[in-house]
Structure 1
Amino acid sequence: MLLLGIDIGTSSIKVAVVDAESQRVLSQAQYPEEESLITALQPGWAEQSPEMWWDHVLHAFDACKKTGKFNPHDISSIGIAYQMHGLVLVDKEQQLLRDSIIWCDSRAVELGNAAFEALGEAHCLSHLLNSPGNFTASKLAWVKQNEPETYARIDKFMLPGDFIAMKLTSTITTSISALSEGIFWDFQTNSVSAALMDYYGFEHSLIPEIKPVFAEHGRVSSPIAQLTGLAEGTPVTYKAGDQPNNALSLNVLQPGEVAATAGTSGVIYGVSDQLAYDPQSRVNTFAHVNHTEEEKRLGVLLCINGTGSLNRWTKNLFGSSVSYAQMNAEASRIKIGSEGLRILPFGNGAERMLNNRLVGVHFHHIDLNVHTQSHLFRAVQEGIAFAFRYGLDIMRSNGLNPTVIRAGKANLFLSNLFLEAFVNSTGVPVELYENDGSVGAALGSGIGAKTFSIPAEAFSNVKPLQLVEPSSTAVYEPEYQDWLYFLNKQD
């Protein structure tokens, strides 16, 4: 039995076809090879075309088919993972009304802050588990306030994964997990937040039908079957944001388990069974993929917007001739601390863990007689690792104390230097796995379709590749404290 996983990333779309019995990847593809366009019409804005995502899905799936390693008709279910917090709007004909306002767009910060004040800190934190901040609900409020003609034509709002499921099935659904990540869900009443909907003046009809994450979210339509080669009626049985999906793909489902990623953004994601929240909403709590009213499973998420994006920016700065492997090799020849060069990696929108401030990237203590591009390469990775440490300390202050962090051996976790800086800055071992969001989405579809009798069965053949333990925490600690001094100066 074959499972199809689709991962709607900011940089690219990934597609994987997985054999359910062995959990072995039969075919996998990414499109495009170069990173997808993000449109910034004004500073702090970030938009992408959902039709671009769909076009890239078709290209990636076509590349998978061309390997000849599977028959599309043998795919029994489809799972979708997607970049979180984006806003997609369609009319009654399921036609797009505008480009998606994506996760790193900062235009709605002030609207969210005003909602936090008007609804009351105590209510927002105890009911929504977050400030409305810069999340999907506030993005929708921005459209209502600034583009009233567009708002008047909305039939349904969606998150990015909902849009791809709609294109496949012509059916629009959502989930409690999705609504919670948009800050629409009231955990005390276990329903859509009436207070938030009333405050923003949203019609309840804008909300799609609510389904469990692991459920049927529509079936592949006849036109799409003809277009793709999939069997008509193939069900979409799983949809989740990229970070809950990453946690699922690492079998992080139970309280106390923690996952991390360091791609375009950096995330630590821990699972809790408590309706807990950060008093300043610097880390955020959402319904995890396996959350129910009876058995609470909350994902506590720390996000750093500018991790891999800063590393990519640095690479591009020195031209196409410089590879990531070369950057890592050069950086490893520089001693810990980069000889005083400090970099704050916060140049990709408002940072939630810094109270939704637009801090930007900062370089400190550049010595023109000492520092080379190799120092810069190291200082970038150390600065990102120090940002993870800063965020993890916030999570620790809220009761999450991981003894090990699971991560996929991908993106920055491919760099031994970054791994060293991460584990020694945080003091927490990292367990590395062969891991990919599209594979996680495929396995999620198998859980939703009941191909697997229990979720753990989906990961029966998934084994850790490597355990990296701290060895130089005493050396890294003063370097982190010096970095922290410069961050605190930004207040």
Structure 2
Amino acid sequence: MYVLGIDLGTSSVKVSVVELSTAKTIVTVQYPESERAIISLEPGWAEQNPEQWWSDVQQAILKANATHLYNPKHIQAIGIAYQMHGLVLIDNQCQPLRNSIIWCDSRAVPYGDAALNALGNEFCLTHLLNSPGNFTAAKLAWVKDNEPHIFNQIHRVLLPGDYLALKFTGHATTTESALSEGIFWDFKEKQISNALLQYYNFNKQFFPDIHPVFSKHGELLSNIAENLGLKPGIPVTYKAGDQPNNALSLNVSEPGEFAATAGTSGVIYGVSEQLIYDHQSRINSFAHVNYQRQLQRIGVLLCINGTGILNSWLKKITGSIHSYENMNALAEQVPAGSEGLLMLPFGNGAERILMNKTLFAHVANIDLNKHGEAHFYRAAQEGIAFAFKYGLNIMRSIQLSPSVIRAGKANMFLSQLFADVFVQNTGVPLHLYNNDGSAGAALGAAIGLGVFTSIKDAMKYQQPIQIIEPDKYKMEHYAALYEKWEALLNEKMNNHL
């Protein structure tokens, strides 16, 4: 018997099928093979079509089925992980009213700032654990103000994973974790924030029933089951944002445990039992997958929008003549510090760690007689690692400091150079695993189905495939390089004022 896991990413959908008896991944596929585009109608805007997501999910499942490595009729449950903070609006026929405004969209920052000023910094941080920033609630406020013809047709406000579950089951639900990532959840009152709804004049009926993350969110519709070769009536038993789900898949669920990712965006994610927050909302706190009203588990998320997207941008502008593997090999031929070349990776919308400034990416100190493409490849990886260090320093300032960081050997962590530069800059051992977000979602479904008694039980088979330790000499060398990078960042920040 098996469980099916879906990971709705920004660039593609991944699907994994996991065997229940062994927790072994039978197959993982991706659809589409090329990166799905972000729709950017205005500078700082970022949208995607929810119907395209649903089409991609179905194609990914059919692609997995086509491997014939399992019997699709033996799948017992579905788990969903999804890109966080997206706004999906549906009408009373459950049809999307507009494109989803996704996580890296910057347009709603003024609406979040206005709410922060009106509700008060102390209230927002102690009750919501965040400024409303450019999260889902602020995006909804933007729609209300700028697209009233859309706003007036809203039947339900959903997160991306809620929408996918609706398509599978015909039934809309949400979770406390999802509401918290949208900045709708009041952690003090342990309910949807009445103060926020009143300020924005949102209808509480916009929100569907709240279910636990690990629970039945509906049963697979017969027509969908027939189209996908699955058994009708199997439940969706897990829904979580991609970063809490990544932490789950790395067995990060208890206070003091940390996970990281470095895909389009970069994240360090730590778990705390306290209602912890940054006074400037440069990092963000949400309900983790195992959050309960009587047992607080808060996921503290450092997110850098511009990370792996810088690497993929370099690949595109060099004519895609190199694979990422070749780019990494070329970068390794350049000495640490890229012979003076510096890069700031912040070119993917407003950056929370920079107090929601849209700083853009920057390249400095180009020597036309010295620097070639390999220098750019290395400077990009170093600049991304420096950004992680900058963000981790913020986490440490609120007494949240990792002793070990766990990550999947994927995306930027496929680069041995990047993994080493990450460790030497953060000063934290890195444990790399053969994990995948879609496989984590499948195991989440198994927990929701009751096959495993806990996250620790579901992840008991995991072992790191590589451990990278800090090196004193390298750390000292990179500390000096980081100072130059941070000086460039401060210069650009000051010019931005």
TM-score range, shorter chain: over 0.9
Deviation at 1:454, TM superposition (A): 2.4
Residues 56-65 or 381-390, more deviating? 56-65
Q: Name the counterpart of 2:264.
A: 264
Q: Which whole-Å CA distance do the structure 1 matches of 2:365 and 2:454 have between them?
A: 54
Secondary structure in structure 2 of the residue aligned to 1:299:
strand
Q: Which whole-Å CA distance do the structure 2 matches of 1:457 and 1:69 have between them?
A: 25
Q: Name the counterpart of 2:189.
A: 189
Residue 333 (structure 2) pairs with residue 333 (structure 1)? yes
Asked if the contact 2:260/2:407 (under 8 Å) is kept, the reply is yes
Q: Which whole-Å deviations, capped at 9, do the CAs of 1:155-185 have from their partners, x for residues lacking one?
A: 0010111111000000100000000000000
Instruction: Report the AA paired with residue 100 of structure 1.
Output: S
Q: Name the counterpart of 2:485.
A: 483
Asked if the contact 1:20/1:458 (under 8 Å) is kept, the reply is no
- 1:357-368 → structure 2 map (5 Å cutoff): 357-368=357-368
Q: Which whole-Å CA distance do the structure 2 matches of 1:323 and 1:445 have between them?
A: 35
Residues 410-419 or 314-323, more deviating? 314-323
Q: Which whole-Å CA distance do the structure 1 matches of 2:190 and 2:2 have between them?
A: 35
Instruction: Report the AA paired with residue 13 of structure 1.
Output: V
Residue 431 (structure 2) pairs with residue 460 (structure 1)? no
Q: Name the counterpart of 2:294.
A: 294
Residues 241-250 or 312-321, more deviating? 312-321
Deviation at 1:24, TM superposition (A): 1.2
Q: Name the counterpart of 2:163.
A: 163
Q: Which whole-Å CA distance do the structure 2 matches of 1:295 and 1:128 have between them?
A: 17
Asked if the contact 2:181/2:286 (under 8 Å) is kept, the reply is yes
Asked if the contact 2:405/2:430 (under 8 Å) is kept, the reply is yes
Q: Name the counterpart of 1:319.
A: 319
Q: Name the counterpart of 1:141.
A: 141
Instruction: Report the AA paired with residue 39 of structure 2.
Output: T
Q: Name the counterpart of 1:32.
A: 32
Deviation at 1:298, TM superposition (A): 0.2
Residue 274 (structure 2) pairs with residue 274 (structure 1)? yes
Q: Name the counterpart of 1:21.
A: 21
Q: Which whole-Å CA distance do the structure 2 matches of 1:150 and 1:264 have between them?
A: 30
- 1:52-67 → structure 2 map (5 Å cutoff): 52-67=52-67
Count of paired positions: 491
Deviation at 1:327, TM superposition (A): 0.7
Structure 1: tracts of 5 or more residues without a match: none
Q: Name the counterpart of 1:51.
A: 51
Residue 476 (structure 2) pairs with residue 474 (structure 1)? yes
Instruction: Report the AA paired with residue 326 of structure 2.
Output: Q
Q: Which whole-Å deviations, capped at 9, do the CAs of 1:364-388 have from their partners, x for residues lacking one?
A: 1111111111111100000000000
Structure 2: tracts of 5 or more residues without a match: none
Deviation at 1:319, TM superposition (A): 1.1
- 1:69-468 → structure 2 map (5 Å cutoff): 69-468=69-468
Residues 283-292 or 222-231, more deviating? 222-231
| TM value normalised by structure 1 | 0.99
Secondary structure in structure 2 of the residue aligned to 1:401:
coil
Deviation at 1:193, TM superposition (A): 0.4
Asked if the contact 2:246/2:259 (under 8 Å) is kept, the reply is yes
Instruction: Report the AA paired with residue 358 of structure 1.
Output: T
| TM value normalised by structure 2 | 0.98
C-alpha RMSD of matched pairs (Å)? 0.7
Q: Which whole-Å deviations, capped at 9, do the CAs of 1:200-232 have from their partners, x for residues lacking one?
A: 000000011101100110000111111111111
Q: Which whole-Å CA distance do the structure 2 matches of 1:262 and 1:320 have between them?
A: 20
Q: Which whole-Å CA distance do the structure 2 matches of 1:487 and 1:444 have between them?
A: 39
Asked if the contact 2:248/2:455 (under 8 Å) is kept, the reply is no
Instruction: Report the AA paired with residue 476 of structure 2.
Output: A
Deviation at 1:448, TM superposition (A): 0.7
Q: Which whole-Å CA distance do the structure 1 matches of 2:376 and 2:68 have between them?
A: 44
Q: Which whole-Å CA distance do the structure 2 matches of 1:8 and 1:154 have between them?
A: 23
Q: Which whole-Å CA distance do the structure 2 matches of 1:455 and 1:410 have between them?
A: 22
Deviation at 1:320, TM superposition (A): 2.1
Instruction: Report the AA paired with residue 275 of structure 2.
Output: L
Deviation at 1:88, TM superposition (A): 0.4
Q: Which whole-Å CA distance do the structure 1 matches of 2:26 and 2:275 have between them?
A: 40
Deviation at 1:120, TM superposition (A): 0.3
Q: Which whole-Å CA distance do the structure 1 matches of 2:25 and 2:276 have between them?
A: 37
Asked if the contact 2:31/2:56 (under 8 Å) is kept, the reply is yes
Asked if the contact 2:116/2:132 (under 8 Å) is kept, the reply is yes
Deviation at 1:421, TM superposition (A): 0.8
Q: Which whole-Å deviations, capped at 9, do the CAs of 1:298-347 have from their partners, x for residues lacking one?
A: 00000000111110000111112211111111110111101111100000
Q: Which whole-Å CA distance do the structure 1 matches of 2:327 and 2:123 have between them?
A: 47
Asked if the contact 1:247/1:253 (under 8 Å) is kept, the reply is yes
Q: Which whole-Å CA distance do the structure 1 matches of 2:64 and 2:348 have between them?
A: 32
Q: Name the counterpart of 1:6.
A: 6
Deviation at 1:22, TM superposition (A): 1.2
Deviation at 1:72, TM superposition (A): 1.3
Deviation at 1:93, TM superposition (A): 0.9
Q: Which whole-Å deviations, capped at 9, do the CAs of 1:99-154 have from their partners, x for residues lacking one?
A: 10000000000110011001000000000000000000000001111110111110
Deviation at 1:453, TM superposition (A): 2.2
Asked if the contact 1:82/1:240 (under 8 Å) is kept, the reply is yes
Q: Which runs of 4+ in 1 moved over 4 A?
A: none
Asked if the contact 1:109/1:133 (under 8 Å) is kept, the reply is yes
Q: Which whole-Å CA distance do the structure 1 matches of 2:104 and 2:454 have between them?
A: 35
Secondary structure in structure 2 of the residue aligned to 1:144:
helix
Secondary structure in structure 2 of the residue aligned to 1:141:
helix
Q: Which whole-Å CA distance do the structure 1 matches of 2:328 and 2:222 have between them?
A: 48
Q: Which whole-Å CA distance do the structure 2 matches of 1:305 and 1:251 have between them?
A: 24
Secondary structure in structure 1 of the residue aligned to 2:361:
strand
Secondary structure in structure 2 of the residue aligned to 1:346:
coil
